[in-house]
């Protein structure tokens, strides 16, 4: 097994862990209903995305 030759310093450990944090969600306001939604996702309240009703389009394509 590999064994480190020297102790990793607090600085090196901290630099390695610099990207191990949670990013806050990118929240925007829906243009149709005005509720807060995650960006680049269909609004779960009114089913609109980019000014179009997505759920009705998907359901009509399956029929």
Instruction: Place 24 in a pLDDT band, splitting at 50, 70 and 90.
Output: confident
Tokens 């029929």 sit on residue: 63
By the 8 A CB rule, do 53 and 63 touch? no
Query: Where is 53: in which H helix or E strand?
Result: strand 52-53
Average pLDDT over residues 13-18: 94
Q: What residue spans define the domains of the chain?
A: 24-62
By the 8 A CB rule, do 27 and 39 touch? yes
Q: Is the pTM of this model over 0.75?
A: no
Phi, psi of 24 (to 5 degrees): -70, 150
Tens-digit pLDDT profile for residues 41-59: 999 999 999 889 987 766 6
């Amino acid at each position: 097994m590999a064994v480190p030759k020297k102790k990793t310093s607090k600085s090196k450990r901290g630099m390695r862990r610099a990207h191990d944090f949670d990013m806050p969600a990118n929240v925007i306001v829906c243009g149709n209903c005005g509720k807060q939604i995650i960006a680049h996702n269909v609004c779960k309240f009114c089913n609109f995305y980019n000014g179009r009703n997505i759920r009705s389009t998907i359901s009509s394509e399956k029929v």
